Structure 1
Amino acid sequence: MSVENENITRIELDGKEFILIGTAHVSKNSAELVKEVIEAEQPDSVCVELDEQRYQSIVDGNKWKDTDIFKVIKEKKAPLLLMNLALSSFQKRIANQFGINAGQEMIQGIQSAKDTGAELVLADRNIQTTFSRIWGNVGFKGKMMLLAQVIASVFSNEKITEEELEKMKNQDTINAVLSEFTEAFPRLKKPLIDERDQYLSQKIKEAKGPKVVAVLGAAHVPGIKEEIKQDHDLRQLNELPAKSSFPKYIGWLIPIIIISMIVYTFVTNPEVGMQQTMSWILFHGTFSALGTALAFGHPLAILTAFVAAPITALDPITAAGWFAGIVQAYFSRPSVRDFENLAEDVFSFKGFWHNKVTRVLLVVVFANLGSSLGTFIGAADVVRLFLKNFI
């Protein structure tokens, strides 16, 4: 017996039958449809639109306890973890307002695969890879805008209207959070939608058995219907964006120019050279320390940001936020309780700042933002003094 529904798409390809269930991540009816289809079809494999990380967050609500906050800082993943937390906050807001458990259809897909003996396939690309490919496509201005929107989405107290909810029923959760941002950066449709369609379609096509059911967000079904006809290189889709050599050269060129100007000025006019040095130190140190203070950082983390920023600004390999974040994590070490409470704490402004995990992340990000601002202002003042002295 087969189930027919407007949200079900059947594809025959290479002797296999693929049954795509277009679900709404915020609809109560989608989970019921998933259960009904899998029980009726008895597929060999069930693919769900989850990666390993999101799957673990469903089956193990305490996974945060294993997070190594120092490793997150050293691997420069603080902004990416903040984005993950923003998604959690967004989903929590929907659940609280409408009594809808976002992602319930994926949970049902996992359970139904287990009940019917079908092989479960985690078909989505790692969310960190997707965020990394987005992060690598927006430049400095885009990164600032993206972080601003992510943080704003966490602290927003606006109610979601019924009209917005209906629109979200045809959207990916990530798309919903970043909808305004993708309008400003249309090229992000590729890593956010197109590449994931390709990845999902290839994983579905490679699933074992002659009959495969795929539980997908409705927004992905049209793309997958086309992409499944082609072969896609999963290794290539999983590659992190290659870093352009241009920013690397610029990253070293600016410090060389700044140091050269200060040294030359010291030789010819020590007084002005001292002014340049103090300008560089004070602008970097002050703005980075201010950013750390805004994140309610530990006093020693604030001091570390002040001391580290003028030095790390001359070294493209390091960043003031690393040092400030490590000091923050050391003197205000997150406890198991902080990790366990993350899901609830990210739902409110107070909780976001109170939780020691998110505070460490905010210290890293805000210290780096302050240092970056100090670079522009400090470098401009060094050049101004140089030109004033020699012209």
Structure 2
Amino acid sequence: MSLSDIADSLPPVLRDQPIERVTRGGVEYVVLGTAHVSRTSVEAVDALLAHEPFDAVAVELCDSRAQGMRDPDAFKQMDLFQVIRQGKAGMVAASLVLSSFQKRLAEQYGIQPGAEMKAAMDGADQRALPVWLVDREVGTTLKRAWHSVGFWQRFGLLGGLIASVFERQQIEEVEIEKLKQGDMLESAFSEFASESAPLYRSLIAERDAYMAARLREQAASSGFAAGRRVLVVIGAGHLKGLCELLRTQQDDPSTLAGQLASTPPKARWPKWLAIGLVLAIFAAIGFAFHRNTTLGAAALRDWVLYTGGFSAIGAIIAGAHPLSVLAAFIAAPIKPFRPGIPSGGISAMVEAWVRRPRVADFDTLRDDIGHWRGWWSNRVARTLLNFFLVSLGTIIGEYTAGIHIVKSLF
């Protein structure tokens, strides 16, 4: 049967849908490009599953996103203490921002973004078909995107994410068109994805290659041979790139997927710069004591007051409990002698202990973070806010103290 014959035999809802058929290793991959805010895409998934037989269903989801769709309340089990201790506060905050963006879309268009992926998984479950989660873990993608851009571009990304939380107007038409072309992450990062080649590569091109490798890997591990068929449901923005790579990719799929799933090492220069700054400040304090005990004591006092003071101000701005403010003031000056959890982490852990999040805080978290007041009224959001503002205050305090101490020597 020719492709035109196949198209003619399709149900009406499928005839205008972007569908590609790729055969690799005898396995036929029927790739359906979807729009993440379209009821038609949901209907297309259901119709394709009903119209054609498949041996597996692959979706553009990672484990965490799939779990979030299957169990929207799973995040309520989040342990804030572990999140802070493991240095995942930033990733959790970014995920919450993305979920807030999705919620606004759902309110504006009456359909939850990614509903077609949920329909594909549900359809596979109903037919007892295996579900292949072929997208890269969203946390890894965000980390690789973050590391792919320069220092100043990161401020633009942070500003864009923050603005997307507090923007109360309807989402612009251009962003909806991006979603109709099919990628949630690219749309959430707005114009930065289209203007930055490294960012586009991390958000789109690398994931195309990863998903193609994962499809090949899953087919091999499942023992699929000639005659087996897999339905692949992906955003339309990935359709062309994925199909091309599925045809031409020659690297070992497991090796390639492993490389693309790795987190790039952190740049060392910020760490060495921070260490160098602190060593220079303490050298200045030591020189002050050498010149005059009173001058040295004043320099040491300035270090404590500036670092502890700015950190405490960060906690106060975050609306932290007095004990959390005190923890910030104590932790910041001794940061150089206490490697590990930053002062923001210690203050946030005290905040989470003193004001333990209630069930209601988790229930309303996604709603609360969409309004600036919610970051202060919701205990989960306020703990994260406390972490960031205290950490920022510590950095400001270190630089301010250093400048003041050096000036006092001359």
Report if TM-score (shorter chain) is over 0.5.
yes
Instruction: Give secondary structure in 2 for the equivalent of 1:333.
Output: coil
| Equivalent residues in 2 for 1:175-214, closer than 5 Å | 175-182=186-193, 185-208=196-219, 209=224, 210-214=228-232
Q: Return the alpha-carbon distance in structure 1 between the equivalents of residues 150 and 95 of structure 2.
A: 20
2:96 aligned partner: 85
Preserved CA contact (<8 Å) 2:313 2:393: yes
In the alignment, residue 50 of structure 1 is paired with which amino acid? L
> Are positions 1:26 and 2:37 aligned together?
yes
Task: After superposition, give the CA deviation of every residue in 1:130-162 in whole Å (9 maximum; x if it has no partner).
Answer: 122233344654554433332221111121234
> Are positions 1:235 and 2:258 aligned together?
yes
Cα offset, 1:385, TM superposition: 2.7
Q: Return the alpha-carbon distance in structure 2 between the equivalents of residues 42 and 71 of structure 1.
A: 44
TM-score normalised by structure 1 residue count:
0.91
Cα offset, 1:239, TM superposition: 1.5
Instruction: Give secondary structure in 1 for the equivalent of 2:94.
Output: helix
> Are positions 1:254 and 2:277 aligned together?
yes
| More deviation, 109-118/81-90 | 109-118
Instruction: Give secondary structure in 1 for the equivalent of 2:29.
Output: strand
2:315 aligned partner: 292
Instruction: Give secondary structure in 1 for the equivalent of 2:23.
Output: strand
* Equivalent in 55, 63, 82 of residue 74 of structure 2: 63
1:338 aligned partner: 361
CA RMSD of aligned residues (A): 2.2
In the alignment, residue 8 of structure 1 is paired with which amino acid? I
Cα offset, 1:213, TM superposition: 1.1
In the alignment, residue 376 of structure 1 is paired with which amino acid? Y
2:119 aligned partner: 108
Cα distance 1:373–1:321, how it changes in 2: closer, same or farther (>3 A)? Answer: same
In the alignment, residue 73 of structure 1 is paired with which amino acid? I
Cα offset, 1:339, TM superposition: 2.0
Q: Return the alpha-carbon distance in structure 1 between the equivalents of residues 323 and 381 of structure 2.
A: 18
Task: After superposition, give the CA deviation of every residue in 1:184-236 in whole Å (9 maximum; x if it has no partner).
Answer: 65422232222211111112223344211111111111221222221342222
Preserved CA contact (<8 Å) 2:160 2:190: no
Cα offset, 1:313, TM superposition: 5.1
* Equivalent in 13, 25, 40 of residue 51 of structure 2: 40
* Equivalent in 220, 230, 235 of residue 238 of structure 2: 220
2:304 aligned partner: 281
How many pairs does the alignment contain? 387
Task: After superposition, give the CA deviation of every residue in 1:315-338 in whole Å (9 maximum; x if it has no partner).
Answer: 564411111110000001112332
* Equivalent in 363, 379, 387 of residue 364 of structure 1: 387
1:146 aligned partner: 157
Cα distance 1:77–1:166, how it changes in 2: closer, same or farther (>3 A)? Answer: same
Gaps of 5+ in 2: 1-5
Instruction: Give secondary structure in 2 for the equivalent of 1:169.
Output: helix
1:121 aligned partner: 132
Cα distance 1:145–1:323, how it changes in 2: closer, same or farther (>3 A)? Answer: farther
In the alignment, residue 130 of structure 2 is paired with which amino acid? E
**What percent identity do the matched residue pairs reach?**
36
Cα distance 1:117–1:325, how it changes in 2: closer, same or farther (>3 A)? Answer: same
Instruction: Give secondary structure in 1 for the equivalent of 2:333.
Output: helix
| More deviation, 373-382/32-41 | 373-382
| More deviation, 122-131/368-377 | 368-377
Cα distance 1:313–1:223, how it changes in 2: closer, same or farther (>3 A)? Answer: farther
Gaps of 5+ in 1: none
In the alignment, residue 216 of structure 2 is paired with which amino acid? K
In the alignment, residue 188 of structure 1 is paired with which amino acid? L
Cα offset, 1:72, TM superposition: 0.3
> Are positions 1:136 and 2:147 aligned together?
yes
TM-score normalised by structure 2 residue count:
0.87
Q: Return the alpha-carbon distance in structure 2 between the equivalents of residues 186 and 372 of structure 1.
A: 31
Instruction: Give secondary structure in 1 for the equivalent of 2:334.
Output: helix
Q: Return the alpha-carbon distance in structure 2 between the equivalents of residues 192 and 101 of structure 1.
A: 21
Cα offset, 1:94, TM superposition: 1.1
Cα offset, 1:183, TM superposition: 5.5
Task: After superposition, give the CA deviation of every residue in 1:300-319 in whole Å (9 maximum; x if it has no partner).
Answer: 11221122112215656441
Q: Return the alpha-carbon distance in structure 1 between the equivalents of residues 150 and 345 of structure 2.
A: 20
Instruction: Give secondary structure in 2 for the equivalent of 1:293.
Output: helix
| More deviation, 255-264/166-175 | 166-175
Instruction: Give secondary structure in 2 for the equivalent of 1:117.
Output: coil
Cα distance 1:314–1:383, how it changes in 2: closer, same or farther (>3 A)? Answer: farther
Cα offset, 1:56, TM superposition: 1.1
Instruction: Give secondary structure in 2 for the equivalent of 1:18.
Output: strand
Instruction: Give secondary structure in 2 for the equivalent of 1:361.
Output: helix
Q: Return the alpha-carbon distance in structure 2 between the equivalents of residues 101 and 275 of structure 1.
A: 59
| More deviation, 89-98/292-301 | 292-301
2:372 aligned partner: 349
> Are positions 1:51 and 2:62 aligned together?
yes
Cα distance 1:197–1:351, how it changes in 2: closer, same or farther (>3 A)? Answer: same
Preserved CA contact (<8 Å) 1:313 1:319: no
In the alignment, residue 289 of structure 1 is paired with which amino acid? A
Cα offset, 1:75, TM superposition: 0.8
Q: Return the alpha-carbon distance in structure 1 between the equivalents of residues 374 and 38 of structure 2.
A: 28
In the alignment, residue 212 of structure 1 is paired with which amino acid? V
| More deviation, 81-90/294-303 | 294-303
